[in-house]
Structure 1
Amino acid sequence: MAQPEVALAESGTLAAFGFGAGTSDNDDPRWLRVALESFDAPAPIELWQVDAPVVCGRQNDVRWSAGGGWLFVAIEVDEQMAGGIEHAAHHAYAALRQFMGTRNERHVLRIWNYIGDINRGDGDAERYKQFCDGRAAGLGDFFATGFPAATAIGHHDRQRTLQIYLLASLDAGQAVENPRQTSAWRYPRQYGRTSPGFARAMLMPARDVLAISGTAAVVGHASAHEGNVEAQLSETLTNLEALLTSAGMPAGFDTHSPLKAYVRHATDAGRVRDILQQRLPGVPVLLMHGDVCRSELLVELDGWRYA
């Protein structure tokens, strides 16, 4: 079982994350148990650290920590209490927007969203599309000058809790798009009333680290290789290389570039692991059981690339 106390006691810990039901709870605002199960046992703790003293606290539903010009913010909303996923997303993003207005670290660089039963429902009633509607309503014009990098993945926790957390900074990053893909905010109407708002990646303020958004087998705006997890994974890796080129980063990933792979079907996890070990030897990849935001997509990757 992942124990948060040791990680939280380390100097400069901005945030720490455990994964799955076997992870301990802790009242420290910097600790978050992510409602995704890992195919790796025991699942490691993800640790964010800064070279500076860290302060932390809570403001209404928002938990936060700050240090060295960086800011971690998280919020969890019980859908049943909020009245459904759209209302939960509206509440969460309105609260995040209000909180960010009180901070000097106002440049949101990267957001993670974890949503129960993300693909349930048809047409505009699909839960992911309702989440996008509520998110946009809660944000208003907060990202009018440009979107951060982001991930939205479905979890299988029986309690429908919307989990959102973000990384922000005193300084602005540089958004990066993929020339192989339509920008997410320009998706046609078939993908919902409200296009998902995110950049494909974000160069951190020093331009030496690339935060990579959730990336799947999407070419243009269309999903590719329906039903074929191997072909989808290969297309995803091609998209990652295109992102590195757009960001001016060297090709490929190394042992200092951690990734997460979200796999829809547990039966595919072993094959995904084998392919990634072949294609990305030595690269640390955490395999998670998670649903991609389009029901036909079977695998998605995100993570970090250090220059």
Structure 2
Amino acid sequence: MAVVQAFPSGCAPTLKVGYETAPASVPVSGHDVLAVIGFGSHAAGADPREVVVPLDTLDGSVAPREVWRVEGEVSHGRDGDMAWSEGGGYLFLSMRVDESRHDGPEGAADYAYRRLLEGVRRHDYPHLLRAWNYLAAINEGDGDAERYRRFSIGRTRGMGAWPAERLPAATAIGHLVKDGDLFVYALAARRSAHPVENPRQVSAYRYPRQYGPVPPSFARAMRVDTQPPTLLISGTASVVGHATAHVGDAAAQSAETLRNLDTLVQTAGLGDRLRGRGACLKAYVRHREDAPVLRAVLDSAGLLPEQVVFLQGDICRSELLLEIDGSFSGA
């Protein structure tokens, strides 16, 4: 059993996350909608709150849209190449960056994170809670020339002196569009939240040199003290300590990933395990044939099919076959 962290008391503004089914042609609706995340090859609409990530569902179906709702009116707009929306104590920012204009993934990540932090400061939401990053050919390149490592260098440089104890939860996944853009979106808040680390793992920002010139800049999860609390979970995979576990074994990697998710829930003080009620998850799978294996593991744990979207994407380490991120409410 993981050691439960102690968290200061307090109540953050309401934040609701869930999947809603509607055709891509149906516009965003609702005064309380902070963000809508779609998946697939269709283009995003004109609404600044909408992001479309170029990842397809594994069965070819139309994926539901991930909708973030807050309490209160949401305003939105664009600041050059960055879209924004704010309301209910939260700020959502998104960008699509053309790597070719920034000398590859390192320059693109540097630029994106400088812009994101400019937005956080301009709108006066000082607490960066969560970030998502989707880039092409994430595993391409050898050693320190690997694109993910170069992305990590750029992200760290773009974040500047941002302290490790305030790093956001994050995901970095490889989308499958050749020579595609870097997609980045993020959630910030007026009220602070609590980073959560996994006692089964070395904190990513303390990884040894073997994983690149700079360690990845993220927390394993972020606990937001809504009522009930919400856990924003970083991309989580079959890593124990800092090493990949169960290389080549999708079933074992699935089970190990679930153990890590359960440990984060326990450490955050939200129960003894991740369960269907209150979960909204994205399961990224490198190879289509491994999806049924992961689905069976999640089904056996009592996670509900309608609360997990399966997407095909590459994982930040070439030996990892799958990864899961999402949110979990302690309700």
Does the TM-score normalized on the shorter chain lie above 0.5?
Answer: yes
2:124 aligned counterpart, secondary structure: coil
Give the corresponding residue for 1:186. Answer: 206
Report SS of the residue matched to 2:166: coil
Q: Compared with structure 1, are the counterparts of its residues 2 and 78 closer, same or farther at alpha carbon in structure 2 (3 Å cutoff)? A: farther
- 2:280 is aligned with 1:255: no
Aligned mate of 1:82, from 102, 120, 134: 102
Which blocks of at least 5 consecutive residues in structure 1 are unaligned? none
SS at match of 1:38: coil
Residue identity opposite 1:38 in structure 2: T
Report the alpha carbon displacement of residue 227 of structure 1 after superposing the two structures with TM: 0.3
Ranges of 4+ aligned residues in structure 1 off by more than 6 Å = none
Q: Distance in 1 between matches of 2:164 and 2:316?
A: 23
1:20 aligns with 2:40: yes
| Pair 1:101 & 2:100 matched | no
Distance 1:66 1:255 in 2: 27
Would the aligned equivalents of 1:2 and 1:42 in 2 still touch at CA under 8 Å?
Answer: no
Cα distance between partner residues in 1 of 2:149 and 2:133: 13
The 5-angstrom pairing of residues 189-268 of structure 1 reads: 189-206=209-226, 208-252=229-273, 253-268=275-290
Cα drift, residue 144 of structure 1 = 4.9
Q: 1:245 to 1:256 in 2, by over 3 A?
A: closer
1:287-306 correspondence runs (5 A) = 287-306=310-329
Instruction: Work out the CA distance in 2 between the residues paired with 1:5 and 1:50.
Output: 23
1:35 corresponds to: 54
Deviations 1:91-146 (A, max 9, x none): 11111122211122221111111111000000000000000011111110134542
Return the alpha-carbon distance in structure 2 between the equivalents of residues 116 and 140 of structure 1: 24
**Partner secondary structure for residue 11 of structure 1:** coil
CA distance in 2, matches of 1:144, 1:102: 22
Relative to 1, partners in 2 of residues 1:57 and 1:14: Cα closer, same or farther, differing over 3 Å?
A: same
Q: 1:234 to 1:174 in 2, by over 3 A?
A: same
| Structure-1 residue corresponding to 2:181 | 161
Alignment RMSD (CA, Å): 1.6
Check whether the contact 2:254–2:293 (CA below 8 A) recurs between aligned residues.
Answer: no
Task: String of CA shifts for 1:158-194, please: whole Å, max 9, x gaps.
Answer: 2421011111111000010000000001100000001
CA drift at 1:55: 0.4
Of 306, 309, 316, the match for 1:286: 309
1:122 to 138, 142, 147: 142
Deviates more, 1:286-295 or 1:40-49: 40-49
* TM-score calculated relative to the size of structure 1: 0.95
Task: Tell me by how many angstroms 1:215 deviates.
Answer: 0.5
Structure 2: runs of 5+ lacking an equivalent: 1-20
- Number of residue-to-residue matches in the alignment: 306
Give the aligned partner of residue 31 of structure 2. Answer: 11
**Contact map agreement 1:4 1:31 (CA 8 A) in 2:** no
SS at match of 2:140: coil
Please list the CA deviations of residues 28-82 of structure 1 after superposition, one character each: whole Å capped at 9, or x if unmatched: 1101111111125121111111121110011122110001111100111011122
Residue of structure 2 aligned with 1:271, choices 293, 299, 320: 293
Partner secondary structure for residue 153 of structure 1: strand
Going from structure 1 to structure 2, the CA distance change for 1:224 and 1:144 (only over 3 Å counts) comes to closer
Q: Is the 8 A contact 1:3 1:24 kept in 2?
A: no
Alignment TM-score, normalising by the size of structure 2:
0.89
